[in-house]
């Protein structure tokens, strides 16, 4: 859902050309219009790019509109897209059926352009407001990274996906080295600026849509990297370490390094070689955290994999 001034993406699903033309004319100033004439085409278009709102005909040539709505609402990726039915049905009980399957509203035929535009705009505005509140609830306000709550929620989702699809999942924990000394010497305002600069490096690092960068707490950060094996993790994290070094932020006196550095620990969970159960979700974080503290003990400004700990102890 777009929460800025960008035009909304509106998908019309209807096999009646006259209805599509009328809706396109009524909504041309409200959003960018796409249209599908059957459910199969609609699902392909939705998969390509999630719309901000869907106008859905009750009667389609391949699948009934009520069933399409049910399928969309049962999918976590599309459940929050508002759906407005376009219908000529007026029989007793139809309104209940529409709302039972999760639709936001319905618009009766014959279509009245001003009514259509007003209702669509109302639902877009409402959904934008909800989306903004949801974003604020899941974002760290200072860094714009995701917050701890979002990381915890996404960890469960991604670990389930890794088990289901038999793909590796990398969990990374990193911490700004000797940050208390930085804060004590330069003050909390400069400390906040330092955290923001580190956060920008993480954003640049976690570029894929599935990657997640979070502020885990204070000067500690976390990364979720789906479908990332040990080779990929080490390459990406080496680049991250170098980018933070390139910031060249002067550190406080009496620190190990004269420029601000981070210590990194990570754990790669490979469901092909490891038995995974849901209770492992938090174990992954604990193991990445253990690797982080090994980086600290080994002199800071370095990367440690959890497997490195096993090699050191063997």
Active site residues: 219
Q: Identify the residue whose tokens are 């956060």.
A: 199
State how far the Cα of 145 lies from the Cα of 86, in Å rounded to an integer: 39
Q: Residue 243: enclosing H or E segment and its boundaries?
A: helix 230-246
User: Partners of 36 in the beta sheet?
Assistant: 13
> Is 218 strand, coil or helix?
coil
State how far the Cα of 305 lies from the Cα of 172, in Å rounded to an integer: 9
Q: Kindly list the distances between the CA atom of residue 183 and the CA atoms of 179, 180, 194, 217, in Å, as whole numbers in the listed order.
A: 6, 5, 9, 15
Can you read off the two tokens belonging to residue 114?
């001003």
State how far the Cα of 51 lies from the Cα of 145, in Å rounded to an integer: 24
Q: Identify the residue whose tokens are 């210590």.
A: 263
Can you read off the two tokens belonging to residue 106?
């319905």
């Amino acid at each position: 859902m777009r929460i800025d001034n960008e035009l909304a993406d509106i998908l019309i699903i209807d096999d009646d050309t006259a209805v599509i033309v009328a809706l396109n004319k009524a909504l041309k100033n409200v959003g960018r219009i796409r249209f599908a004439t059957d459910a199969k085409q609609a699902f392909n278009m939705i998969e390509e790019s999630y719309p901000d709102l869907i106008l859905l005909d009750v009667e389609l040539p391949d699948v009934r509109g009520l069933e399409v709505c049910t399928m969309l609402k049962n999918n976590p990726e599309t459940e929050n897209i508002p759906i407005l039915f376009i219908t000529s049905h007026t029989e007793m009980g139809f309104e209940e059926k529409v709302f039972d399957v999760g639709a936001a509203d319905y618009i009766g035929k014959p279509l009245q352009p001003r009514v259509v535009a007003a209702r669509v705009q109302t639902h877009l505005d409402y959904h934008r407001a909800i989306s903004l509140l949801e974003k604020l609830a899941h974002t760290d306000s200072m860094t714009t990274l995701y917050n701890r709550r979002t990381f915890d929620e996404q960890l469960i989702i991604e670990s389930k996906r890794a088990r289901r699809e038999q793909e590796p999942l990398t969990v990374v924990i990193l911490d700004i080295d000797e940050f208390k000394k930085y804060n004590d010497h330069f003050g909390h305002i400069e400390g906040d600026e330092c955290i923001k600069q580190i956060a920008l490096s993480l954003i640049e690092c976690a570029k894929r849509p599935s990657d997640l960068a979070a502020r885990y707490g204070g000067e500690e950060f976390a990364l979720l990297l789906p479908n990332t094996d040990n080779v990929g993790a080490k390459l990406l994290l080496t680049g991250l370490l170098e980018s933070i070094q390139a910031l060249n932020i002067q550190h406080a006196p009496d620190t190990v390094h004269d420029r601000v550095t981070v210590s990194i620990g990570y754990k790669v969970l490979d469901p092909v070689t490891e038995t995974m159960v849901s209770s492992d979700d938090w174990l992954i974080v604990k193991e990445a955290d253990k690797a982080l503290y090994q980086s600290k003990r080994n002199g800071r400004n370095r990367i440690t994999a959890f497997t490195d700990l096993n090699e050191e102890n063997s």
